[in-house]
């Protein structure tokens, strides 16, 4: 009898794990998990943590953006480099190439606020890839000063895209030596906020 019950349990668990994720509804449209891309830039892993929370809820392919030439480890050095890139309009080339972008319908695009702007690698991503016709859903972490001009720049650089309501939350503050914060109580709180935001995107 025990053996029979165990077999039934194993069979149903296996069945559960084989089923694909239920479809997510974005703006009244059903989207399967294969058509969702979650792409993000993250240095101290706060934005990465939010990206993983989104993936836990909606499935999709998770891709971290990496540069051909990585930024310096030193905080002051990266701040100066980013300021120079913003001034000159330099777009740092990406090592990450996205395959089968034409199969994607919804792109969750995550980034930290850098110098109160959209980070240069995200500008590179929007320039190197054709996202027109796709639904773009931005998400952001920042050191407490908000999104700055980042969401506006996204609109400018992605004219043919449908940009949906984004999400932003306070992350670390590298300037003050606060790096990764998305654990413990904070993680639980942000996870709840992410779920609430995701369900607001349905209608």
Ligand X SMILES: Cc1cc2nc3c(=O)[nH]c(=O)nc-3n(C[C@H](O)[C@H](O)[C@H](O)COP(=O)(O)O)c2cc1C
Closest contact distance (angstroms) between CB of 37 and ligand X is: 18
> Can you read off the two tokens belonging to residue 158?
């992605």
Angle at which helix 120-128 crosses helix 150-157, to 10 degrees, equals: 20
Binding to ligand X, residues 165-194 (CB under 6 A) = 171-174
Q: How many residues bind ligand X (CB under 6 A)?
A: 25
* 31 or 41: CB nearest ligand X: 41
Cα R_g (the chain), whole angstroms: 19
* 11 or 90: CB nearest ligand X: 90
**Quick check: 63 binds ligand X (CB under 6 A)?**
no
Binding to ligand X, residues 122-151 (CB under 6 A) = 141-145, 148
* 27 or 143: CB nearest ligand X: 143
Closest contact distance (angstroms) between CB of 167 and ligand X is: 13
Closest contact distance (angstroms) between CB of 138 and ligand X is: 14
* 22 or 74: CB nearest ligand X: 74
Task: Name the residues that contact ligand X, by CB under 6 A.
Answer: 42-48, 78-79, 82, 112-116, 141-145, 148, 171-174
């Amino acid at each position: 009898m025990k053996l029979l019950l165990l077999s039934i349990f194993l069979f149903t668990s296996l069945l559960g794990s084989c089923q694909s994720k239920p479809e997510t509804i974005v703006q009244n449209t059903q989207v399967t998990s294969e058509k969702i891309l979650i792409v993000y830039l993250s240095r101290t892993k706060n934005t990465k943590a939010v990206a993983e929370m989104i993936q836990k809820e909606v499935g999709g392919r998770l891709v971290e953006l990496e540069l051909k030439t990585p930024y310096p480890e030193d905080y002051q050095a990266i701040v100066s480099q980013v300021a120079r890139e913003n001034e000159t309009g330099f777009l740092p080339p990406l090592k990450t190439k996205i395959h089968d972008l034409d199969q994607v319908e919804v792109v969750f695009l995550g980034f930290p606020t850098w110098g109160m702007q959209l980070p240069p690698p995200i500008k590179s991503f929007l320039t190197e890839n054709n996202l027109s016709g796709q639904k773009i859903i931005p998400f952001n972490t920042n050191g407490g000063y908000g999104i700055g001009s980042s969401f506006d720049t996204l609109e400018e650089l992605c004219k043919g895209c449908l940009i949906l309501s984004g999400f932003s939350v306070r992350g670390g503050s590298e300037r003050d030596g606060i790096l990764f914060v998305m654990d413990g109580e904070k993680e639980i709180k942000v996870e709840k906020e992410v779920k609430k935001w995701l369900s607001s995107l349905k209608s």
